[in-house]
Amino acid sequence: MPPVTRREFMAAAAAAGACALITCPSAPAPAAEKERLNVLMIAVDDLRPELGCYGVPGIKTPNIDRLARNGVVFNRAYCQQAVCSPSRTSLLTGLRPDTTQVFDLETHFRLTIPGTVTLPEHFKNNGYHAQGLSKIYHGGLDDPQSWSVPHWAPALRQYANPETLADMEKRRQQLRAQGRRVNAQVLQSDPKTGTALKVRTGINVKGPAWEAANVPDNALIDGATAQRAVETLRQIKDKPFFLAVGFLKPHLPFVAPKKYFDMYPLETTRLAPNPQPPKDAPEIAFTNWAELRGYTDIPKQGPLSDAKARELRRAYYAAASYTDAQIGKVIDELERLGLRDRTVIVLWGDHGWQLGEHGLWCKHTNFDIAARAPLIVSSPQGAKGARTDALAEFVDVYPTICELAGLPVPANLEGRSLAPVVRDAKRSVNTAAFSQYPRGKVMGRSIRTDNYRYTEWAEPGKAPEAVELYDHRTDPDENVNIAAKPEHKGLVARISKMLRDGWKAAAVK
């Protein structure tokens, strides 16, 4: 554990006693602390709700499914923007992108809303030990004041194949020799903490899009993270804690031990059922999936072959099953320590992911498949083995965890507590969920209601230049944009007003 300054120690002691930053396994916790619910928050990068507990056959996620049997699965949970940092920022601050002003991967929310109190920070301020492992905030944009001890991330590389690593290093050296920048450049830092507030990303030298590594689980980043989480639980078990554990896979590159690839024979891997663009959808709704095209085995332009698409889908599933196994190790240790019955567990994927649907890959859109993500809440106070169609947003996670743990809910949050739904899966608190995605000066704003997804693409203060409307009762895969049909003119006007009225007007009455 890194050394703790006297200032850090005194601040933590005032909030939670001197044991907040040091391990005191032999000292019994005060009775009041024993009664407090712990929080284990599990964040999974790029995980879409293609899981056994979401009713998808053939996907091997037994540990996430086990968690679902002890909690509530939100079938319709939506991120605020389908890309890592804006989504995570909204969830961890309880504020929407228009408030955080974080729309990219280079801006820290402490630059735009410096005084905000994050979800883990709120627990820390209320006497909890708050600790973060691996990717919770976006890489390079961690928030030190959120944690009781410094954030930890494994010092491992994404790939395991020595030839791949050697080739990538060779290309980095070539770029450096040309005067090209391959590392992120910090443009602005917090003068007090040194936190990077504004960065400029360098050239991301990549290898292949997937790799079946002949290594044990803990030789890769997520296996090492699970191991660290198990060790951390043993250290903090005697005090109230907020432990956030982040797993990288199935984020690109899809690297996992070979045994997880063996679970998914290539010849039985199915392609996306709707590889064509939605009929009458505007061009601005699409991307060229540049994130994937940077890998060495992916063409720079044009569609993927069926063979490559099948490879990638198989590798995504293998990476998801690898992370599922690591999640199982963490939950097993929580149970072994006797903490399961007094711990709220919340698992979320930071957004959805396109695996060839509409001819798209990665995220970066307002389509339902990019904005919809897994959300599972298991609470000692909550329902068990329940699934709900209640609409949920990621900004709802902050107030939900506070209410379930018995902490006050900050007044400035821009979401609603889902605790009533966690206790009774038949309840609902939202009539709509809102997402957005920028394209240069144009912002795409989307609303998901019980039956429809509606999106307007417009520059600020101007009329929409493109509109989308999908009827999920008859077209759940969003294959036909019906916004321009004359018979839907009134419907478009009504949903457009709901979009403009915003989240405050979307409470269940």
From 138, 151, 358, 364, the catalytic residue = 138
* 235 vs 85: CA distance, rounded Å: 30
Return the number of other C-beta atoms located less than 10 Å from residue 53's C-beta.
22
The span from the CA of 229 to the CA of 139, in Å, is 18
Q: How far apart are CA 84 and CA 137, in angstroms?
A: 8
H/E stretch holding 78 reads strand 72-78
As a whole number of angstroms, the distance between CA 351 and CA 331 comes to 23
Q: What is the C-alpha R_g of the chain?
A: 22
- Residue of 19, 84, 362, 402 marked active site: 84
How many Cβ atoms sit within 10 Å of the Cβ of residue 347? Answer: 26
Dump the DSSP string for 403-465.
Answer: HHHTPPPPTT-SS---HHHHH-TT---BS-EEEEEEETTEEEEEEE-SSEEEEEEE-TTS--S
- How many residues in the chain? 509
Nearest to 318 by CA among 359, 262, 236: 262
Please provide the DSSP assignment of 127-154 as one string: T-EEEEESSSSPTT---GGG-SS--B--
233-270 per-residue burial string, b: 16 or more CB within 10 A, e: under 16: bebbbbbbbbbbbbbbbbbbbbbbbebbbeebeeeebe
How many CA atoms does the CB half-sphere of 194 hold within 13 Å?
0
Only one residue has tokens 């699965």, namely 73
Q: What are the CA-CA distances from residue 320 to residues 60, 425, 437 (Å)? A: 8, 26, 25
Angle, in degrees to the nearest 10, between helices 306-336 and 221-236: 20
Under 8 Å between Cβ of 46 and 315: no
362 to 205, 244, 253, 273: CA distances (angstroms):
18, 25, 11, 16
Task: Based on the residue annotation, tell me whether 138 is a catalytic residue of this protein.
Answer: yes
Cα first-last separation, the chain: 49
CA distance 147 to 123: 9
Q: Any catalytic annotation for residue 472?
A: no
| Catalytic (active-site) positions | 84, 138
